Structure 1
Amino acid sequence: MAAPASEVSAFEVGACKGQKVVDGEAIPLVLRPSSGPGKSSAEALVAALAANRAWFEEQLVRHSAVLLRGFDVADAVEFNDIVEAFGWEDIRYVGPAPRTHIHKRVWTANEGPLSEFIYYHHEMVLIKEFPGKVILFCEVPPPEGGETPFVPSFKVTEKMIEEFPEHVKEMEEKGLRAKALGMDMEWLADGGVKTILGPRPLTRVFPGRKERRMWFNTVVGMHGKDISSAELADGSEIPAHVVRRCGEIIEEESIQFKWEKGDVLFLDNLATLHGRRPSLPPRKVLVATCK
């Protein structure tokens, strides 16, 4: 069994506004530097993470999200050092969001207009090879708004089964498809793409996560759009009132926190949906995605 977070000397357990307790676990787990000279430096943080890789990953799976707060992480170079401390394999982003490469494994997060709400999603959910971890770093916190809310995905499934058992059963049995001929995509090593026809599952169960059924789809965020996985594989539509209520459930179960400069947020992409609230400028959040 992993040692409690408080027993790892490099960190102290903290709290943040918006934190929730879900099934007895704090989400996110907030880790702050332990007291003592130099403990908050980026160099000390990288060393502590490298020395406690297995423990940290256990905490990430257990809590679905871990927020490192109060460390002196200044820029993309130091953020990249944090990402590389784990030895996790890089996975390049594939999708429509405008992003700019900054340094090694670090990119800008979605550069869409800050006035727009980016809807909750599992990163690259429509791509065959999706990341296991999404890591975000706040270099410039927005003066207002701009949160990155996230949602324990299994809670959405639980509530949907509770309220719409027959609809969920139908969606599970029939599967979902993209409106563009039901295509799935697999990106090849040479940069090409292979399209795959067939239904997509509504939920997914991933190892090590208590057999929880994750709401691993785009039923709400892409409902009614030309390219989505928000219709049933037999071509029938998901009732609008079901989609609408699902959106309400996602919002009700969401965890909101206000970015602080230097924050590093690790999300288990297999267990959490995440999005972006509208904000006033400036806002600079960087991202790395790992297998």
Structure 2
Amino acid sequence: MEISCKDFKVGRCEGQKVVDGETMPLVLQPLQPNTSDTKSLLSALKQNKDWFEQVLIKNSAVLLRGFDVKNAEDFNDIIEAFGWDEARYIGAGIRKHVHKRVWTANEGPLSESIYFHHEMVLVKGSPEKVMFFCEIPPPEGGQTPLVPSFRVTERMLEEFPEAVQEVEAKGVNYTLTALSTNDTSSIRGKGWEDAFGTPDKAEAERRAKALGMDLEWLPGGGVKTIMAPQALTKVYDGRKGRRMWFNAVVGMHGKETSSAMLADGTEIPETFVKRCEQIIEEESIQFKWEKGDVLFLDNMAVLHGRRTSLPPRKVLVAICK
């Protein structure tokens, strides 16, 4: 597919990479200085909706840069221009509602990094698209690094072909422990009442079951969430048959509040997990946020995270089915 459109020009950003012939992130800029306003951007997106979606699937990440996107209202208008269905966030990070479809990305301290992940990777019906808007770029750090998921699978198969096959065949069980109420001192501080949208335990169990989870109540009001066995990799339509590293093994294995182990109850080898962590970092792509940036991610194809940063940093998020 040719990356050309009468309403955008292709730009560059520091840190972008070409992966298997695809530029990540693909940078789209105003065609002319007088078309950088939000009204012109919305018109261009609506007129080129199908083209934009194809470009996003092809390149996995698209960065709109140089447009006059000022606030959450502008960001929301951009998301709504596509007509995508909104997805409800289910996860351990605390988010605050800002405007319509727009939320804060994570209320946890900026001094903590957020490990690479596919959004809602353990939940039935993970969102297909994740969008970020940078309202206030951090003075240092705070990047949202990306990883092409298929590259992790390829490299793990090269180095651990038998182990990958074993984990894939057995499946992975995950657990995550949460308090009843939110703890903003942690990037994984969302309490179960907020996560499931109810203080009623019976209703929480029903909602968890619908998402493929069981709940084990703990002394003190906390809960252990137990996920049904999950695959290690997945293949999604329209993405060249690539096997995506669609799991949370590294992010949840051996942590204080979470675990990841084989579904038969045996441990995943530490060498497997550690080397995977190294590969993910080696494959990472990152750029510095600029004010007004809007980043679109194909959540089926790319992992993302957050580097530590100095304040202030204000990056908002929206997720769509």
Runs of at least 4 residues off by over 4 Å: 226-229
- Partners in 2 of 1:227 and 1:127 — Cα distance? 18
Among 9, 13, 38, the residue aligned to 2:10: 13
Residues 169-184 of structure 1 mapped to structure 2, 5 A cutoff: 169-179=165-175
Do the aligned residues in 1 keep the contact of 2:176 with 2:259 (CA within 8 Å)? Answer: no
Among 258, 262, 281, the residue aligned to 1:232: 262
Gap change, CA 1:43 and 1:180, over 3 Å in 2: closer
Gap change, CA 1:47 and 1:242, over 3 Å in 2: same
Gap change, CA 1:127 and 1:113, over 3 Å in 2: same
- Partners in 2 of 1:68 and 1:243 — Cα distance? 34
Gap change, CA 1:150 and 1:180, over 3 Å in 2: closer
Match of 1:242 in 2: 272
The alpha-carbon deviation at position 261 of structure 1 amounts to: 0.3
Q: Which runs of 5+ in 2 are unaligned?
A: 178-195, 198-202, 215-226
Indicate yes or no: 2:46 matched with 1:34: no
- Partners in 2 of 1:78 and 1:273 — Cα distance? 25
Task: Give me the CA root mean square deviation.
Answer: 1.9
- Partners in 2 of 1:262 and 1:178 — Cα distance? 37
Do the aligned residues in 2 keep the contact of 1:179 with 1:226 (CA within 8 Å)? Answer: no
Gap change, CA 1:258 and 1:180, over 3 Å in 2: closer
Q: Secondary structure at the match of 2:57?
A: helix
Match of 2:223 in 1: none
- Partners in 1 of 2:78 and 2:296 — Cα distance? 11
- Partners in 1 of 2:208 and 2:277 — Cα distance? 31
The alpha-carbon deviation at position 95 of structure 1 amounts to: 1.3
Indicate yes or no: 2:270 matched with 1:274: no
Q: Secondary structure at the match of 2:251?
A: coil
Amino acid paired to 1:136 = F
Indicate yes or no: 2:143 matched with 1:147: yes
Gap change, CA 1:95 and 1:180, over 3 Å in 2: closer
Match of 1:113 in 2: 109
Among 218, 235, 239, the residue aligned to 1:205: 235
Amino acid paired to 1:268 = D
- Partners in 2 of 1:111 and 1:36 — Cα distance? 35
Q: Secondary structure at the match of 1:250?
A: helix
**Larger mean Cα displacement after TM superposition, 117-126 or 171-180:** 171-180
Amino acid paired to 2:240 = K
Q: Secondary structure at the match of 2:255?
A: coil
The alpha-carbon deviation at position 5 of structure 1 amounts to: 2.7
Gap change, CA 1:229 and 1:127, over 3 Å in 2: farther
Q: Secondary structure at the match of 1:221?
A: helix
Q: Secondary structure at the match of 1:135?
A: strand
Cα deviations by residue, 1:152-189 (Å, 9 ceiling, x for unpaired): 000000000000111101001111012479xxxxx79x
Q: Which runs of 5+ in 1 are unaligned?
A: 182-186
Match of 2:88 in 1: 92
- Partners in 1 of 2:115 and 2:279 — Cα distance? 13
Residues 39-58 of structure 1 mapped to structure 2, 5 A cutoff: 39-58=35-54
Do the aligned residues in 2 keep the contact of 1:217 with 1:229 (CA within 8 Å)? Answer: no
